[in-house]
Amino acid sequence: MKVVVVDTECANLTSVCFALERLGYVPTVTDKAELIRAADRVILPGVGTARAAMRNIQRKQLVETLQQLTQPVLGICLGMQLLTESSSEGDVDCLGVIPTQTRRLQADGLPLPHMGWNQLQQRTDTPLLKGLDAAAYCYFVHSFAVPVDSYTIASSHYGEDFAAMIQHQNFYGAQFHPERSGSVGATILKNFLESEYVDTRA
């Protein structure tokens, strides 16, 4: 299987690659459109700001490439937010492949960023959470979040409910860092890499 990690220059690529290697995969880190299109699975990681990440994606001429992918794509942390239509972090347009928005987390007086372990609440049946029990905890570091809506497949709570995982067609997002979430994160990555995706788009 060809697994590509997209190099946006806004991510800790080493930790993501180590997590994939522990599962027995040899990922390719690249910003080459032809390699991204040829992959069986694509991972879009990210840390930092949406504006900086989108600026890099635009500079690398990868916007249309990423938007047009038909294989399973997983956005991690900022990478998940980049899959949405827009982010209030800098009022920037994102890739728009999942029709929802990213906004500042309303933490009800709790400190931001939301940093540490938090529990997932599965909201719909998804192969990415196969094999996990109801007490699954993952590691989060973020100040912006996607609200819970029809694209939310798992949520978490920090001052308010927010989307911990989202999906639309072949695009998936995880607000947490699966590569830093122990056995739970490893299971989610393994499920993403090994679950069969059926393209139901007309």
Looking at the predicted structure, is the pLDDT value of residue 202 above 60? no
- Residues forming the active site: 77, 177, 179
pLDDT at 11: 81
- In this prediction, residues 96-109 reach a mean pLDDT of 96
What is the mean predicted confidence (pLDDT) over 165-185?
97
> What are the structural domain ranges in the chain?
3-194
Strand arrangement of the beta sheet that strand 152-157 belongs to: 28-30, 3-6, 41-44, 73-76, 171-174, 161-168, 152-157, 121-122
Residue 121's DSSP bridge partners are 155
What per-residue confidence (pLDDT) applies to 201? 59
Indicate the fold that domain 3-194 takes in CATH: Rossmann fold (3.40.50)
pLDDT band at 94 (very low <50, low <70, confident <90, very high): very high
What pLDDT score was predicted for residue 200?
60
pLDDT at 198 over 80: no
What tens digit of pLDDT does each residue of 34-67 get?
999 999 999 999 888 999 999 999 999 999 999 9
DSSP string, 4-26: EEE--SSS-HHHHHHHHHHTT--
Tell me how many helices (H) and strands (E) the chain has.
6, 14
Mean pLDDT (whole number) for 63-83 = 97
Q: Is pLDDT at 170 greater than 70 in this prediction?
A: yes
**pLDDT number for residue 199:** 67
45 contacts 5 by C-beta, under 8 angstroms: yes
Among candidate residues 79, 105, 172, 185, the one with its CA nearest the CA of residue 138: 185
What average pLDDT does the chain have? 95
- Counting residues of the chain whose pLDDT is more than 90, the rounded percentage is 89
pLDDT tens digit sequence for 8-38: 988 889 999 999 999 999 999 999 999 999 9
Could you give the percent of the chain with pLDDT greater than 70?
A: 98
36-40, 125-129, 138-142, 188-192, range with the lowest pLDDT: 125-129
Residue 186 token pair: 């490893």
